[in-house]
Structure 1
Amino acid sequence: MSLSAEHMECPSGQLLNLLAGPWTLSILWLLSNNGPTRFGELRRKVDGISAKVLTERLRMLEEEDIIYRDYKPTIPPQVTYGLAERGEDLAQVLALIDKIAQKWQKVSS
């Protein structure tokens, strides 16, 4: 069995691989701190992300049941994203990581 195959069998490795994708942590951090957020606002707040990449990341997170998508067929359509139950679990971890990052930032300043 190769090392990569062993890594994929590890639940922690699978989760970390998912979170390591581009922009994923930024999106989850914004949703955990701002609550349900519309697509356009997410795009403005995730500096440098394209609409295509944001859409891809959001779809992937929705497929994994980490976020939910609320679509309202108005003109223009309103699409809002928020944390699903799995995302709320991750929000707790992200809050701890944020706390450590702020602590370390103060030490290195």
Structure 2
Amino acid sequence: MIEAANRNPAEPFSGQGQAIERMLSLGVSRSDIVDLVRSSQVEAISRLCYFLDDPSLCNEENERVRSVGWALVVTNEDFEPTDKVIGGLHESVLETDPTGREMRPRKKLQ
């Protein structure tokens, strides 16, 4: 990210690399930066998944979403949609943490 930001400092998302470079120069550890970034990513994914499954969006009084309809569904072997809706996707986001910690803090070394 830092290298990309230095190559193209005005490009979208280059601020990430610039911020990381400043944090490292201030002595912030790479593991703290990784934890911050990963937590922010997982929180965004979780909130998006919750928003997509939000039952309040079915409220016909809400003009912004009255004409919007969508569903995440299981497909058959030909990738055609079935009537089986996949709900509660936000509930499984933490299970995808490759560390197995479900986004809990790292254990401090004694």
Tell me if TM exceeds 0.5: no
Which is richer in helix?
1
Higher relative contact order (CA 8 A, sep 6+): 1
* Bigger Rg over Cα: 2
TM-score (norm 2): 0.29
Which is richer in strand?
1
